[in-house]
Amino acid sequence: MKLSKLIENFPVKVATQHEIIPDYDITGGISSDLLSYVMANAKEGNIWITIQTHPNIVAVASLTNLAAIIIVGGAQPDQDTLSRASQEDIPILTTDLPAYEFILRMAAFGKDNA
Amino acid sequence: MTPQNIVRMAKLNHNELIAVTDHNSGENVSAVMGAGAEHGVAVLPGMEVQSREDIHLLCYFDRIDDLLSWQEIVYGKLPPIENKEELFGPQLLFDSRDRELGKNNRLLLNGIDLSLEEIIEEVNFRKGICVPAHIDRRAYSVLEHLGFIPSGLPIAAVEGSRAVDVHGMQRKYPYLTAYPFIVSSDAHNLEEMVFNRTYFYLMEPTLDEICLALRGKEGRKVVIV
């Protein structure tokens, strides 16, 4: 699935600033709030579902070439996080949905659009 | 662990300086300081605070008033949940003669709603210092939760748990050599107070002297055995 399709079909807001939102191919996803775990286990092109908002998430996403960071549960990223992510052209999406709910919807959407 | 027991155990261990760092609270510190004054053991006021990222951060102050002012912020940022004694045990408050004064009913084990950086800023503003705790451990450590220490973070040192291989850590993460290292007992009972690996060479047991020692200035130093 393309990132643009996710943005179109899910209750997410793009919190970062981009000239054009990069329309990466999403290769899969990872859900964890431990950054060391994500560094070790994320695959290129994954979306990362987390409640962490610290600027270090941008470095981890950049290191592992993630397609986007999805901050769930209504958590709001720090300004520093957003400006670094905008600089690195890594989209950060926010949603009020909790992680479990978001992933369930992704699964349902995937089935209907297979 | 009561104030008199802690200080008397410190005496037995020949500790001239100890720090009390309860989790998200400093309410028992003045009692231990009182017991310390009685027995000639210097007690540094401190706290182990848990950040929004679930990182444990040690905070040390020179003055109890600065710790208590910081505690007000922490209590304001703790989720308003009551302690469940049957699950977590009682959170007792003592005076310096080990008399029970009451209980803290606020559940202290949660993270507070401040980031690592915000905590350090507030603590430094109160003339305190911050030290990320047990960075070699999987649980509640900055390396595990944030992957690495954000560059330029104004911390005074990093702390390893009692079994840490300091040189091994520094080989694995070379950037750690930029930070002074301390190893603490993290004693949760009297017996664990014997795990005592950090020696501070100071003129007097104050935070200023400790900061000099951490930076290796003016003949002060820190030695880990």
- pLDDT tens digit string along A93-107? 999 999 999 999 999
What pLDDT was estimated at residue B87?
85
Query: What is the identity of the amino acid at B40?
Result: G
Q: Do B143 and A36 touch (CB under 8 A)?
A: yes
The two three-digit tokens of residue B173, written as one number: 């993460």
Give the residue from chain B lying closest to A58, CA to CA.
B146
Q: Do A36 and B145 touch (CB under 8 A)?
A: yes
Give the residue from chain B lying closest to A80, CA to CA.
B117
pLDDT band for B138, please (50, 70, 90 cuts). confident
Closest CA–CA distance from residue B3 to any residue of chain A (Å): 36
The two three-digit tokens of residue B51, written as one number: 């950040």
What pLDDT was estimated at residue A114?
59
What pLDDT was estimated at residue B86?
85
- On average, the pLDDT of chain B sits at 96
Q: What is the dihedral of CA B59, B62, B68, B69, to 10 degrees?
A: -90
A56 touches chain B (CB under 8 A): yes
Closest CA–CA distance from residue B53 to any residue of chain A (Å): 7
Give the residue from chain A lying closest to B144, CA to CA.
A36
The number of angstroms, rounded, from the C-alpha of B162 to the middle of its chain's C-alpha atoms is: 14
Q: Do B147 and A36 touch (CB under 8 A)?
A: yes
Chain A hits for B145, CB-CB cut-off 8 Å, are 33-36, 52
What integer is the mean pLDDT of B102-111?
A: 93
The number of angstroms, rounded, from the C-alpha of A76 to the middle of its chain's C-alpha atoms is: 13
**For residue range B1-54, what is the model confidence (pLDDT) as tens digits?**
999 999 999 999 999 999 999 999 999 999 999 999 999 999 999 999 999 999
**For residue range B182-225, what is the model confidence (pLDDT) as tens digits?**
999 999 999 999 998 999 999 999 999 999 999 999 999 999 99
What pLDDT was estimated at residue B196?
87
**For residue range A30-89, what is the model confidence (pLDDT) as tens digits?**
999 999 899 999 999 999 999 999 999 999 999 999 999 999 999 999 899 999 999 999
Strands (E), chain B: 17-23, 42-50, 56-60, 92-94, 100-103, 129-132, 158-160, 181-183, 198-201, 221-224
What pLDDT was estimated at residue B54?
93
| A85: nearest Cα among A22, A26, A28, A33 | A22
Chain B hits for A78, CB-CB cut-off 8 Å, are 115
What pLDDT was estimated at residue A112?
76
What integer is the mean pLDDT of B133-137?
A: 96
What pLDDT was estimated at residue A113?
74
Closest CA–CA distance from residue A112 to any residue of chain B (Å): 36
